[in-house]
């Protein structure tokens, strides 16, 4: 479904990504892991159109989308959430999801239809129904994460990019998030997610890709990848000589 080839991205003198090749297969949940500063979020931002790569290419469903704008990519079927929920605090939860329903794809609902769709997506992600008309400024972290996930789903994506959906959540909420990710995939949406909690990654991913210092160092089944000595070193550091 998606392929990056030789993608590199620098910020000033810092190399965030170096010659990264990545493939996402239709219908899978692909986990993207690595230490802090490995380039994971930068890669998702390149795929989503927030950043342009300095070199390399991105193709989606066989089409080169490297230079496509963020809104064009969204309407083509790529939606993204953020590690820190992005929102307009003066909007209500349902209004923020209506933005995705109205502008995130080629579907053009009426305002009434958009509100009905938004409420349906909020229910799908487990958002408290009684808070649908509450301002985003008055929601807690879990509610904000559910709202932005509902907004992304309202774009009707074929590929959903999730940036640390479980960050800041307690274990019960994280388990609920894992179940929700599976449900999203079972409903026909391919998922590429960044996650620091290895228990979450191994529990939900069909395949895992590891980045370290901007380079891809492993790709394969979760158990195999996480047993890779180079992956272990990237997380824990090289053992000291005795």
Question: How many CB atoms are closer than 10 A to CB 237?
Answer: 9
Q: Per residue in 9-35, pLDDT tens?
A: 999 889 999 999 999 999 999 999 998
Residue 39 near residue 11 (C-beta atoms within 8 A): no
DSSP classification of residue 13: T
- Measured CA to CA in angstroms, residue 160 lies from 55, 80, 149, 167, 214 at distances of 24, 6, 9, 17, 22
Percent of the chain having pLDDT more than 70?
Answer: 97
Domain boundaries along the sequence of the chain: 1-77+157-242, 87-155
The distance of Cα 156 from the centroid of its chain, to the nearest Å, equals 14
Q: Per residue in 135-186, pLDDT tens?
A: 999 999 889 999 999 999 999 999 999 998 887 778 888 888 888 999 999 9
- Given a cut of 50, whether residue 242 has pLDDT beyond it is no
What CATH code is assigned to 1-77+157-242? 3.40.50.300
Residue 191 near residue 182 (C-beta atoms within 8 A): no
- Considering the entire predicted model, what is its pTM? 0.92
Q: Per residue in 83-120, pLDDT tens?
A: 877 678 899 999 999 999 999 888 889 999 999 999 99
Average pLDDT on 201-205 reads 88
């Amino acid at each position: 479904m998606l392929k990056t080839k030789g993608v590199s991205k620098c910020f000033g003198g810092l190399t965030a990504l170096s010659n990264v090749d990545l493939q996402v297969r239709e219908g899978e949940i692909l986990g993207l892991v690595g230490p802090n500063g490995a380039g994971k979020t930068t890669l998702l931002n390149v795929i989503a159109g927030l950043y342009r790569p300095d070199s390399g290419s991105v193709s989606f469903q066989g089409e080169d989308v490297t230079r496509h704008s963020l809104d064009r990519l969204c309407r083509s079927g790529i939606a993204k959430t953020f590690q820190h929920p992005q929102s307009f605090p003066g909007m209500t939860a349902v209004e923020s999801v209506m933005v995705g329903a109205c502008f995130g794809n080629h579907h053009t609902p009426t305002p009434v239809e958009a509100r009905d769709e938004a409420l349906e997506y909020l229910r799908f992600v487990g958002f408290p129904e009684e808070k649908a008309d509450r301002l985003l400024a008055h929601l807690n972290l879990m509610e904000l994460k559910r709202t932005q996930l509902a907004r992304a789903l309202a774009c009707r994506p074929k590929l959903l990019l999730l940036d640390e959906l479980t960050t800041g959540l307690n274990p019960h909420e994280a388990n609920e998030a894992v179940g929700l990710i599976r449900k999203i995939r079972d409903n026909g949406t391919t998922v590429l997610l960044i996650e620091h909690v290895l228990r979450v990654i191994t529990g939900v991913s069909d395949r895992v890709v590891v980045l370290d210092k901007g380079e891809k160092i492993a790709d394969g089944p979760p158990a195999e990848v996480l047993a890779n000595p180079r992956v272990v070193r990237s997380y824990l550091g090289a053992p000291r000589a005795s």
